[in-house]
Structure 1
Amino acid sequence: MEYYEMTGFMGLMTDSADDCSEIEMPRPEEAALLLDFDGTLVDIADRPNGIVVTSETRKILAQALERLDGRVAIVSGRSVAELERFLPDFAGPLIGTHGSEMRADGEHRQLVDFDRATVSRLIRLADDFAALRPEFLVEHKPSGVVLHYRQAEEHAALAMRFMESLAMAADGFRIQPALMAYEIKPEGVGKDVALERLLSTGAFAGKTPVYAGDDLTDEPALELAQDRGGVAIKVGPAETVACHRLEHPADLIRFLGGWLG
């Protein structure tokens, strides 16, 4: 059990994926495919820059874009710029930094307003902390900062207390627990919020959402997909609101390949 679960930080989630039947997918022509990135399409790495996008992943994304007439979006905690670097050939919408920014139809937009001076201050303070405690890894985001403790699980409580103190002193920002990390991001930012916007516009409007994700930050989006009559797939072993589960990113890639035909 992770530290945030022991403290009740995220509330209680049932392991509903263990109680549901075989995954029943909508027909591709009626679906919108929405995918997290790290831990869902690619395996988690020790460091954010260490992930590998396989040829199979690139192939399935291209196949999905063609089969679904472009209704495929990547929804990630990474920035849009990072997603573009790892997925240079992906032409669908990119929703970055948990929904604070988006690239669609070649246009890059900020979806929320936030104080950039506060973000700079938060990043500086987190960097100073990690300089004293090198077992932690700091990740800079356009709208916030992440403190990873994957290499120091025994110090999870320290990571939480430090990031809580930063968030309490930053008006308009809040702490977001994640798998082996704590992030500070603007209030009102969420993958579900950004997806509500996407699913009401253009080719995505009126389609049945299929969402796959692995992290705590994906839970609201998984719930949104199910509430809209769609499919929610949890990737990995963590507890979830999702009704279906696959164990690894490679399992998801194979599953999507069978669905797309």
Structure 2
Amino acid sequence: MEFYQMTGFMGVETDTADDCSDIRMPDPADSALFLDFDGTLVEIADRPDGVVVPQNVVDLLDRAMDRLDGRVALVSGRSVATLEAFLPGFQGALIGTHGAEMRAMGGEHLDVVEIDHGTVSRLCRLADDFAALRPEFFVEHKPSGVVLHFRQAEQHSALAMRFMESLAMAADGFRLQPALMAYEIKPEGVGKDIALKRLLDTDAFRGRTPIYAGDDLTDEPALELVQSRGGVAIKMGHAETVAEHRLERPEQLAALLGGWLA
């Protein structure tokens, strides 16, 4: 068993996923849809820049925006700018970098939390220096922090954790966030659930039944929040989860949502 499985960062294998027909979806007219990106809408790639967005996903988001009167948001660890690059035509809300930044439905870009850009710059530089010595790791810069990916070096996951943990301990106001095949340093007080709660309290989303799908450990608080509000929480993949429903692959989610929106 790999280190990330022993520590619970990816969870453990569970029973089989739900059949799409077993998930009871609310009336689209009374719903709001929130989706993670990697591993949920699209397949995870070996490198973050290697993701391919299928045309059916673009079409699905367009249909959701139309049927739900714009009540669709992507909630991702990716930056808002990266999400915009992958989905240039998407007009819904974007919650980026785990809730540190946001693009509102009207297109306005907002920094949800104050970011110490000087510290972020130093963290990125140190991570880059580490990866220069260990090229099997891949560093991803974000507006609010830095990520060290070890998808190509699973046998060295403990080394990745120790390095990133030491950086986080030296950076006041930042903390270590385990993720799928990666470790991220991000500001304290940032979380997908915090950002989602803020969005659910806006006029456009207030009172609607929330639907959330996500695959990462960082999605768990948001999944729990959605269930506490009577919504539908869908875990993607086999990791342990608080969600009542589970699907294995993005194409299954696309099939579920496509039938729901038809």
Write the mapping of 1:97-112 to structure 2, written as runs, cut at 5 A.
Answer: 97-104=97-104, 105-112=106-113
CA contact (8 A) 2:31 2:71 kept: yes
CA contact (8 A) 1:16 1:241 kept: no
Three-state SS of the structure 1 residue aligned to 2:242 is: coil
Q: CA 1:63–1:18 in 2, change beyond 3 Å: closer, same or farther?
A: closer
- Give the Cα–Cα distance (whole angstroms) in 1 for the partners of residues 165 and 18 of structure 2: 35
Q: CA 1:241–1:2 in 2, change beyond 3 Å: closer, same or farther?
A: farther
- Give the Cα–Cα distance (whole angstroms) in 2 for the partners of residues 254 and 200 of structure 1: 29
Asked if residue 186 in structure 1 is aligned to residue 187 in structure 2, the reply is yes
- Give the Cα–Cα distance (whole angstroms) in 2 for the partners of residues 233 and 2 of structure 1: 25
Shift of 1:18: 6.4
Three-state SS of the structure 1 residue aligned to 2:139 is: strand
Q: CA 1:3–1:27 in 2, change beyond 3 Å: closer, same or farther?
A: same
CA contact (8 A) 1:225 1:232 kept: yes
Q: Deviations over 1:48-89 (max 9, x none)?
A: 111111110001000000000000000010000000001001
How many residues align? The count is 260
Q: Deviations over 1:198-254 (max 9, x none)?
A: 000021011111000011111111111101100000111211111101110011011
CA contact (8 A) 2:18 2:247 kept: no
Partner of 2:92: 92
- Give the Cα–Cα distance (whole angstroms) in 1 for the partners of residues 197 and 36 of structure 2: 15
Shift of 1:9: 6.6
Amino acid at match of 2:62: A
Amino acid at match of 1:85: A
Q: CA 1:156–1:228 in 2, change beyond 3 Å: closer, same or farther?
A: same
Partner of 2:56: 56
Partner of 2:168: 167
CA contact (8 A) 2:141 2:147 kept: yes
Partner of 1:72: 72
Asked if residue 25 in structure 1 is aligned to residue 25 in structure 2, the reply is yes
CA contact (8 A) 1:77 1:97 kept: yes
- Give the Cα–Cα distance (whole angstroms) in 2 for the partners of residues 123 and 84 of structure 1: 22
Q: CA 1:14–1:150 in 2, change beyond 3 Å: closer, same or farther?
A: closer
- Give the Cα–Cα distance (whole angstroms) in 1 for the partners of residues 12 and 193 of structure 2: 17
Partner of 1:129: 130
Which segments of 5 or more consecutive residues in structure 2 lack a partner in the other structure?
none
- Give the Cα–Cα distance (whole angstroms) in 1 for the partners of residues 246 and 58 of structure 2: 22
Three-state SS of the structure 2 residue aligned to 1:112 is: coil
- Give the Cα–Cα distance (whole angstroms) in 2 for the partners of residues 186 and 47 of structure 1: 23
Partner of 1:38: 38
Amino acid at match of 2:135: P
Partner of 1:83: 83
Aligned-CA RMSD value? 2.0
- Give the Cα–Cα distance (whole angstroms) in 1 for the partners of residues 12 and 136 of structure 2: 30
Runs of 4+ aligned structure 1 residues displaced above 4 Å come to 12-21
Shift of 1:24: 1.1
Shift of 1:7: 3.2
Identical counterparts, % of pairs: 73
- Give the Cα–Cα distance (whole angstroms) in 1 for the partners of residues 238 and 174 of structure 2: 29
Amino acid at match of 1:251: Q
- Give the Cα–Cα distance (whole angstroms) in 1 for the partners of residues 24 and 255 of structure 2: 15
- Give the Cα–Cα distance (whole angstroms) in 2 for the partners of residues 142 and 218 of structure 1: 20
Which segments of 5 or more consecutive residues in structure 1 lack a partner in the other structure?
none
- Give the Cα–Cα distance (whole angstroms) in 2 for the partners of residues 13 and 28 of structure 1: 33
Shift of 1:172: 0.2
Write the mapping of 1:109-120 to structure 2, written as runs, cut at 5 A.
Answer: 109-120=110-121
- Give the Cα–Cα distance (whole angstroms) in 1 for the partners of residues 179 and 243 of structure 2: 17
Amino acid at match of 1:35: L
Q: CA 1:15–1:208 in 2, change beyond 3 Å: closer, same or farther?
A: farther
